[in-house]
Amino acid sequence: MTDRLIVHAVRKSFGATKALDGVELTARAGEVHAIVGENGAGKSTLMNILAGGLDADDGSIVLDGTPYRPTSPAAARELGVAMVNQELSICPHISVLDNIMLGREQSRFGWLDFSSMRAQAGAALAPLAGEASADWLSKPAGELPVAAQQLVEIARALIGRRGCRLLILDEPTSSLGKEDAQRLFEVIRHLREDGVTVLYISHFLEEVRQIADRFTVLRDGATVGEGAVADVPTTEIVRMMAGRRIDQLFVRSPREPGEVLLQLENLAGDPLPHGASLSLRRGEVLGIAGLVGAGRTELLRTVFGLAPVRGGSVRVAAFVGPASPARRLSQGVGMLSEDRKGEGLAAGLSVVDNLTLSKLPSRRGVVSPRAQRTLANTWIERLAIKCGDPEQPIGHLSGGNQQKVALARLLHHDVDVLLLDEPTRGIDVGSKSQIYERIDALASAGKAVLMVSSYLPELLGTCDRICVMHRGVLGQTHAVADCTEHGLLEEATGARREARGTPP
């Protein structure tokens, strides 16, 4: 295979911060090339340079033998390079057709040529979505599931004067269930067969092994390793990423559960959950497994007061009944949202403000900026948050470091019951290990943790007990020693219920 993309000695700085410091990358035509590295390693900066969103300070980029330096994302797309971001850029209120053709509208005699546009959009979407594509074109994009919206973005990337030669996928499965992820992998394989080069960014190394041909590792803005995925053990890739060996990813210290801090009795929300009963004790981690859409997030939101209680009861220590989020915080309950962009962080504020927002250090009603900064520096050090300065805008941090700030705020509030919704989504392997250590330390210190995760090894590695949610109903709680990935997946898909003859 010929080299499609050659990146040589590319550098990029933001003020005194070096985001890229001499990156080297070679990707071949018709291959899936994984880009891996810890949060803050420079992956997003490099991809934005390739996609035309940023301009490199130094170095060279060659695309199919021709120097490549796009001046904008539109210019990059005209040259056959497109990027699908982790946070989808779909316009939800306009049709799928309009989303695909956005910026590439066709006209005839001064009027939009909908016939031509529909033919082009359909030709791009059909190989990805199959027979469903014809029905999608006229629907508002926001009505489609997330997995379908992602296919719409890929179809938009395939439209162009030169087609798509280089497709960049940034954490493409972070919001997908297992079945949707497998369908996406099939799409990627078809694109590879058609000669498209796919740069695949992911923190899930098992996905990299499944879909990628070769890989490049970035650390601290520089290339530190590369090779064929089949030739390099996962442990060695992790060592390259972290700069150290991570022998034990999951940590679970011996601990003895204490008093019940959270009790749910047949809790029903609007629209989910339908029925949820559980007891969460001090000093334990209780995991909730299930497929996307099963009602796991809705359960946590109902408990925390972000969604109404339609039936059943919630008891927090001595407090009984529904409550607002502010009241829940005063009762010692805190929640980490899975949607850090939409509701987990205040995008317009700094790192220090986001970290201390729910519990500002004050004296006689006056907030102390100095105390704020001291607290922020403490948590930045404890969670190894990579940022130039606590006053840095939160939006300048990588997604994983933003997630750490959201978690640090919860730890700073010092609640007794922690509701964690996908706490390691978008976080690299080394940072995941640190988060698992923190969760273990919290439980060992007597905190109670209720954790939702789509990553079953994570639940099996960190939890004391696990229950599965299926179609809004929370199943029985199992000791983690009695659980397997296969068994949890059977329960999550309803296969176990069907085998017993239980109605879905």
Digit-coded pLDDT (tens) for 357-372: 989 998 888 999 999 9
Is residue 420 located within the same domain as residue 407? no
Share above pLDDT 70 across residues of the chain, in percent, rounded to a whole number: 96
User: What are the C-alpha distances in Å from 469 to residues 288, 314, 454, 466?
Assistant: 7, 18, 11, 10
Average pLDDT over every residue of 328-354: 91
Q: Is 364 left (phi over 0), alpha (psi -120 to 50) or beta?
A: left
**Where among 242, 277, 305 does a domain terminate?**
242
Is residue 274 located within the same domain as residue 410? no
**Where among 242, 270, 290 does a domain terminate?**
242
Q: CA 328, 439, 301 angle in degrees (round to 5)?
A: 30
Is residue 275 located within the same domain as residue 301? yes
Task: Give pLDDT, residue 245.
Answer: 67
CATH at residue 86:
3.40.50.300
Is residue 328 located within the same domain as residue 366? no
Please choose, from the candidates 318, 320, 305, the residue with its C-alpha nearest in 3D space to the C-alpha of residue 269: 305
> Is-contact 267 302, C-beta < 8 A?
yes
Structural domain that includes position 422: 257-332+416-504
pLDDT band with cut points at 50, 70 and 90 for residue 57: very high
Average pLDDT over every residue of 366-386: 92
Task: Give pLDDT, residue 148.
Answer: 86
State yes or no: pLDDT of 16 exceeds 80: no
pLDDT band with cut points at 50, 70 and 90 for residue 326: very high
- In-domain check, residue 340: no
Distance CA(331)–CA(229), nearest Å, equals 49
Task: Give pLDDT, residue 203.
Answer: 81
- In-domain check, residue 155: yes
Choose between 364 and 459: higher pLDDT: 459
Task: Give pLDDT, residue 504.
Answer: 46
- Could you identify the residue written with the tokens 């990299």? 208
Choose between 52 and 147: higher pLDDT: 52
Choose between 217 and 427: higher pLDDT: 217
- In-domain check, residue 369: yes
CB burial of 178-188 (b: ≥16 within 10 Å; e: otherwise) equals eebbebbbebb
pLDDT band with cut points at 50, 70 and 90 for residue 159: confident
State yes or no: pLDDT of 483 exceeds 70: yes
Choose between 173 and 113: higher pLDDT: 113
Q: What is the pLDDT of residues 219-242, one digit of tens each?
A: 989 999 999 999 999 889 988 887
- In-domain check, residue 341: no
State yes or no: pLDDT of 396 exceeds 70: yes
Is residue 90 located within the same domain as residue 159? yes
Average pLDDT over every residue of 76-91: 87
Distance CA(343)–CA(301), nearest Å, equals 12
CA 43 from chain center: how many Å? 15
Average pLDDT over every residue of 159-176: 81
State yes or no: pLDDT of 498 exceeds 50: no
- Name the phi and psi angles at 193, rounded to 5: -65, -30
The residue type at 458: E
Highest mean pLDDT among 51-65, 195-209, 355-369, 393-407: 51-65
State yes or no: pLDDT of 469 exceeds 60: yes
Task: Give pLDDT, residue 235.
Answer: 86
**Where among 414, 429, 445 does a domain terminate?**
414
Is residue 78 located within the same domain as residue 124? yes
Is residue 143 located within the same domain as residue 32? yes
Which helix (H) or strand (E) segment holds residue 167: the answer is strand 166-170
Is residue 178 located within the same domain as residue 319? no
3-state secondary structure at position 75: helix
pLDDT band with cut points at 50, 70 and 90 for residue 160: low
Predicted TM-score of the model (pTM): 0.70
Which helix (H) or strand (E) segment holds residue 301: the answer is helix 296-304
pLDDT band with cut points at 50, 70 and 90 for residue 162: low
State yes or no: pLDDT of 345 exceeds 80: yes
- In-domain check, residue 307: yes
What does pLDDT average to over the chain?
Answer: 90
Q: Which residues contact 28 (CB under 8 A, 6 or more apart)?
A: 1, 2, 3, 4, 197, 214
Choose between 181 and 411: higher pLDDT: 411
DSSP per-residue string spanning 364-408: TTEE-HHHHHHHHHHHHHHTT---S-TTSBGGGS-HHHHHHHHHH
- In-domain check, residue 178: yes
Is residue 291 located within the same domain as residue 379? no
Q: What is the pLDDT of residues 18-41, one digit of tens each?
A: 889 999 999 999 999 999 988 778
Choose between 277 and 203: higher pLDDT: 277
Is residue 100 located within the same domain as residue 171? yes
- In-domain check, residue 141: yes
Number of domains in the chain: 3
- In-domain check, residue 339: no
State yes or no: pLDDT of 161 exceeds 60: no
Is residue 360 located within the same domain as residue 475? no
Is residue 428 located within the same domain as residue 410? no
Share above pLDDT 90 across residues of the chain, in percent, rounded to a whole number: 61
